[in-house]
A and B are shown apart, each in its own frame.
Chain A
């Protein structure tokens, strides 16, 4: 019988190989799925892995989708590394979008370009506020952060709905539940003319460097990891696990909020009930598949963005529901968790 045996020390090689093996397993299951549905598997693979990268336009769209995933996942990586289970990034993203929209809606013809940083800052504050609530309830009352942050997602959706169906509804919008289109001065500056890629991508890449430095090169980042992983050891060393909790949640809430602001004042350009696109949940997978490492997250964000675009293409080209994206996302995370076993254990044949 095959048995698992504890390795004397975790395998470094499998740390890198496991996400690749997980991707391979997901692809194999995908091929089987296509075959079962009577679609050409080769065509299916093309739609997911070739079409999103085959032209500069396709690549730019890939970047547009990868940007929010990357930004949110960076924050979540800090959070999960500190053993704080913030599952409600989707809610923090929505609040960021709402706060950003609030500032963007105050703009008129005379507003200067200073409005863009104000919109982004408002988004960060919105996300931090929503995550700060989780931190407060956890810190003061010991309430489970998984459940609280998740419940706040549902609350955030209702707040958004209230605003777009109520006070913020565009009076000239033919009764559609949406705000008026933001003034063009609030638009996040584009990086490349003719594409939708904006400075959010640069912010995301700066974030990668910042999170890397914070986690691996600063005393505060080290205290953060210890505070989360071993509260007792942290106390002994004089690190505060309460501080780790607050830092983790405020950082991840702020990044999620920033992503929300970048989306509404960037590609979307107004507040609608369709702002929540599941990026907050997908980013959880991005963070794990990227090994909670800022550089790894760059690759997994691109991969996840391919899944998003592939799902949309599968709908138009293959007549499959768009939700196939969610199936592959879930499968990938499952496969990764299973493959990660090989980091700490080795398979041996024993009678």
Chain B
């Protein structure tokens, strides 16, 4: 039983990384922009976060550095896509390729370094409940912050005027422009916010989740986060659910190995990627599910006065 509680706890932890990045991408996409650069932003942010913690010893500063790196790269992407009207897919791809190369290049001197394991924050009293306590209430604060982020985002998107404006920019940039909203500036802000969240997720990976730096350590989490926004049909609460589900699949591989399931480890490592494909197929099978919720102008450039 205790091991199931631990599997559950590990799934929440792994899911948190995916959820934070995916929520960031959701903000992007609600504003009508798809950023395929998530993987690259997360890699650079993971490095920025790791290096900051190595030099300052402060995890909080590491998170800030990660967010800054993510937002900066997102700003470059946003500038190209929003002001120069470059193809969103190609530009995002360029960002991912650049991020992978740049982080490997700049990070080569950190490969040998290690950070101390982070102690978990146990919520008083609640964490003492048997099983449930170790499953739910002994985590890094970021795990709880992520849940709060979901509620905050739901409130922002569906209960505030700014959220409405953001969504209208994604649904119909022409009307938002006609109403006098600065469509391009709003889109850039959304893209940068998304980049900051991807950056936060990346920094969490390299400083808390696996406190070390290895080339390519994000290992497709950025792409899985992108798939999660589709899986969740652009709804924040479902992003969280999907992320925990994927966290579970990721963690199951270690668990199965632990209890001695006789499957070559490579097949277990494949599972999150195969699961992503299966989930994409299941959700995309019904085009109306996708079409009802997908921001209408997603992927399309907007050029005022053209």
Contacts and interface: CB of A to CB of B under 8 A. Distances in A.
Contacts of A331: 98
Given A154-B220, A325-B101, A327-B101, A337 B86 contact: yes
A205 B264 CA distance: 41
A171 interface: no
Contacts of B280: 137, 143-144, 147-148
Contacts of A141: 281, 284-285
A144 to B, nearest CB: 6
B270 interface: yes
Interface in B107-146: 108
B273 interface: yes
Interface stretch (B4-12, B87-95, B157-165): B87-95
B84 interface: yes
A327 B98 contact: yes
B99 interface: yes
Nearest to A138: B284
Interface stretch (B25-33, B223-231, B243-251): B223-231
Interface in A80-95: 85, 87
B36 A146 contact: yes
Interface residues of B, number: 49
B93 A284 contact: yes
B259 interface: no
B223 A147 contact: yes
Contacts of B293: none
A142 B285 contact: yes
Given A4-B84, A151-B277, A326-B105, A161 B223 contact: no
A214 interface: no
A288 interface: yes
B40 to A, nearest CB: 8
B226 A330 contact: no
A158 interface: yes
B254 to A, nearest CB: 15
Nearest to A137: B281
Contacts of B83: 4
A199 B267 CA distance: 36
B90 A288 contact: yes
A125 interface: no
Contacts of A87: 93
Interface of A is mostly: helix
Interface size class of A (residues with CB under 8 A): 35 or more
Contacts of A323: 101, 104-105, 108, 215
A10 interface: no
A262 interface: no
Contacts of B40: 330
B266 A162 contact: yes
A330 B91 contact: no
B269 interface: yes
A104 to B, nearest CB: 21
B276 interface: yes
B215 to A, nearest CB: 7
B270 A327 contact: no
Contacts of A340: 86
A154 B105 contact: no
Interface in A318-351: 320-321, 323-331, 333-334, 337-338, 340-341, 344-345
Contact of A144 (B215, B270, B284): B284
B240 interface: no
B226 A147 contact: yes
B196 interface: no
Contacts of B290: 142
CB-based closest 3 A-B pairs: A326-B101, A330-B98, A323-B104
19 contacts: A141-B284, A147-B280, A151-B276, A155-B270, A158-B270, A159-B266, A162-B264, A166-B266, A323-B104, A323-B108, A323-B215, A326-B98, A326-B104, A327-B102, A330-B94, A333-B93, A334-B94, A337-B94, A341-B84
